[in-house]
Chain A
Amino acid sequence: MKVGQPKYKTSEEVDFVIIGSGAAGGILAKELSTNGFRVVVLEQGPYLTEADYTHNEIKVLGEDLLTNHPKLQPTTFRKTPQDKAKEQRAVVYGRSVGGTSVHFTANFWRFHEIDFIERSKVGAIPGANLVDWPIRYADLEPYYTKVEWEIGVSGLAGASPFDPPRSKPYPMPPLPVKSSGVIFERAARQLGWNPFPAPMAILSQPRAGRSACMNCGFCLSFGCEVGAKSSSLVAAIRVAEGTGRCEIRPDSYVHRIETDARGRAIGAAYFDKDKNTHLQKAKAVIVCANGAETPRLLLMSANAQFPNGLANSSGVVGKNLMLNSAAISMGVFEHPLNDYKGFAVSRILHDFYELDAQKVGFYGGGGLDGRFDATPIGFALNGLPPDTPKWGSAFKKTLSENFTRTMEVFSHGTSLPREENSFSLDPELKDAWGLPALRLTYKDHPDDLKLAKWLNDRSLELLDAAGARKKWSYPITEQEFAVHLLGTCRMGNDPKTSVINSDHRTHDVKNLFLCDGSSLVTSGRGQPTMTIEALAFRAADRITALAKSGEISA
């Protein structure tokens, strides 16, 4: 595509420079350019499109075609701030135009009312830094609806008794049910639970010039060749490009936000493909680089005026990281499910969204989904029962029987924010550009692990009720690898304890805005992208209003 794009000079002060083209950056680019502003989007990854996506597992999973590269961008991990971090792969995120929304599962759950007011409801939790949001579900509801209609979400309104109120039904019916979905639905009903068709950001019908899902079976981790998966590339960035006011500049790795003597952002400094540096000037800067790279960029932008990093007078930039708790159980059935066909998830349930802490003995809640998301090589390496031989005829026999007969019950749940859990700059390790590597510090709150185990027990119960002939679970252990990157520049009214206000404007720098997973105050129940996109639509409205009233440039 890439049609109709203007080419702005770096010296030309555009209205907005947006850093990152993922779920939030794509939507902000679409909204702000549609509202008449001149926008430059700087994306560290390449501009790949449908023609570049492939079902080659080696390229996608082995060579990180669509994701951050562990060799160019090494990372470190430690459990607590007292430990010395060791180099290991600690984070994965999308690194091409469209960001992680190119390769995600596309589970699109709204947050519920409780997610915004949980602190008030459950009180203080020892060892956690749980707080309420400065906004409520009702503030975000119109924007959830906007995501469903403008980005494209398939689902069935009213199918779950636990759903929060909504102003409009889904724009499209749910995707077809898979065998895993039928098994999940029947077993869950047998247990008295309330399964329902999964809301997915994948088109069940052609829409806005995009194809419906053709069920190719290479969904999670892969880009969609027919534009059915509602990535920000196909659903937002192409609209932004169509305005003639938005330039998408790929292979542009931002390493610093520059400020002037008044403490205002003047633009973003970045490396181009050949590692030459440029400064794109802008009236305002919006960082949508994800919950790991956004705090990293603020910390790397420290200067004499902002010695602890930009927008970090509170000291909480990078902290309160939440990864979502998760557990997976697998079941093997008598007949072929052929669940490799299609997208990952067709049935979910929210009966355990809000558990009674008095009864279960820990804080938290979550949801279950029935799915299959493995591709052939990945399945052979990691999807067989643990007692299967690793090679030889017995391995081959189990592989040949199980690939079509296996499904997963995946449970997703809350993570409590803990100040010690963070992304920060590694003091020693550098990336291929000479910049400080990301350092992950993470130790799950004990309640998060109890929750994961409790939910996984429900998954096993479900597989029993479904008559699985074999079932097993992956071990539930403390997390050392980050996929959902949430809470690291949290939103709040108090500049002492939060980084941005409810307009996504940083408390410290008037023309600097942040919007992505880092903005989240609580973790939700494991499917954050829908909320990140709703926040992006809302932020675009807020930022437009501020810009039009002259508030940003004042």
Chain B
Amino acid sequence: MIDELSRRRFLSQAGIGVSAAWVSAHWPAMVAAATHAHQAVQSGTAYKFEFFTPAEATEIDALSARIIPTDDTPGAREAGVLYFIDRALVTFASDDQQKYRDGLPELQSQVREKFPGVEKFSAATVEQQDELLHAMEPQDEKAPPRRRVNSVQTFLEALRVQTISGFLIDPEAGLGNRGGVGWKLIGREPEHSFQPPFGYYDKDYPGWQPAQKMADKK
């Protein structure tokens, strides 16, 4: 909320011509989105999944935690990726439902085959989990097309794309990236307006000079 307040203050006061109408038009939506994003954890009661059974949710949680693990910084778990994916599968990613319905049992049978006695992915050790995922990686992966959120073929690839999406989506969308932990990890500041200097290399820029003048100085 502090980010939102400072953003609003910036928009109203920065004098760069942003209309007050724009701010007031967006303000209720901004608040609603930010509130929604935090409800799942803050309610304190058990989250009611829309797509997964509780048992499936445990497996997806374990899988996404290997894609973006929690180490010395927050990972998929802390970003609430599981809840993002659950919601995605009943809304914008409903086309992927079958991949999950087919892919998860298939994965579990591979777990049992590879590690007899281990009943499911979430029961395996982290080392076993990583070994399994490595074994299932596609061998002849083509470079993905740029810029689009790609259409994906397999369960694990869908899970990877959705885990990354849930980790890095604009927190204001109210879907994932809880607490902005994904953006914090990659160094993306939470604001949506910035002023120069932006980075290390432009902070001492002396201003544009024609090449001839530069040459004269030498």
Contact = CB atoms under 8 A, between A and B. Distances in A.
Interface in A12-64: 50-51, 54-59, 61-63
Nearest to A225: B22
A429 interface: no
B192 A55 contact: yes
B186 A197 contact: no
A177 B205 contact: yes
B143 A214 contact: no
A341 B191 CA distance: 10
Sort chain A's interface into a size bin. Answer: 35 or more
Contact of B214 (A61, A177, A189, A212): A189
A399 B88 CA distance: 23
Contact of A55 (B93, B170, B194): B170
A390 B169 contact: no
Interface stretch (B46-54, B61-69, B97-105, B107-115): B61-69
Contacts, number: 204
A56 B169 contact: yes
A215 interface: yes
A216 interface: yes
Contact of B198 (A215, A333, A380): A215
B contact patch SS = loop
B133 A58 contact: no
A214 B16 contact: yes
B18 interface: yes
A194 interface: yes
B42 to A, nearest CB: 22
Contact of B149 (A50, A51, A58, A386): A58
A58 B210 CA distance: 42
A339 B198 contact: yes
Nearest to B26: A51
A337 B201 CA distance: 6
A475 B19 CA distance: 44
A336 B168 contact: no
A70 to B, nearest CB: 8
B198 A342 contact: yes
Interface string A59-89: 1011100000000000000000000000001
B16 A392 contact: no
B76 to A, nearest CB: 9
Contacts of B193: 214-216
Interface in B198-212: 198-202, 205, 208, 210-211
Nearest to A174: B208
Interface string B178-204: 000011011111001111101111100
B211 A189 contact: yes
Contacts of A339: 198-199
Contacts of A226: 17-18, 22
Contacts of B169: 56-58, 376-377
B165 interface: yes
Contact of B133 (A50, A211, A391): A391
A396 B213 CA distance: 45
B161 interface: yes
B161 A381 contact: yes
A381 B186 contact: no
A208 B16 CA distance: 13
Contact of A376 (B11, B69, B168): B168
A404 interface: yes
A340 to B, nearest CB: 6
B217 interface: no
A159 B208 CA distance: 9
Contacts of A390: 137, 160
Contact of A341 (B145, B173, B194, B201): B194
A290 to B, nearest CB: 18
A403 B187 contact: yes
B149 A378 contact: yes
A177 B165 contact: no
B175 interface: yes
Interface stretch (A178-186, A508-516, A517-525, A526-534): A178-186
A216 B192 contact: yes
Nearest to B163: A391
A4 to B, nearest CB: 17
Contacts of B149: 57-58, 61-62, 377-378, 381
Nearest to B170: A55
Interface string A362-398: 0000000000001011111110001000111101100
Interface of B: 11, 14, 16-19, 22, 25-26, 66-69, 71, 73, 75, 88, 92-93, 130, 133, 137, 143-151, 160-161, 164-165, 167-170, 172-173, 175, 182-183, 185-189, 192-196, 198-202, 205, 208, 210-211, 214
Nearest 7 Cβ contacts at the A-B interface: A206-B17, A335-B200, A179-B199, A179-B201, A338-B199, A403-B186, A214-B193
Given A391-B160, A392-B66, 4 more contacts: A176-B196, A216-B193, A386-B143, A396-B69
30 contacts: A56-B169, A56-B173, A58-B149, A62-B93, A62-B149, A63-B92, A159-B210, A174-B208, A177-B202, A179-B200, A181-B202, A211-B18, A214-B192, A214-B194, A215-B196, A216-B192, A221-B147, A225-B26, A333-B201, A335-B201, A339-B199, A342-B196, A376-B168, A390-B137, A391-B133, A392-B130, A393-B71, A396-B69, A400-B187, A474-B143
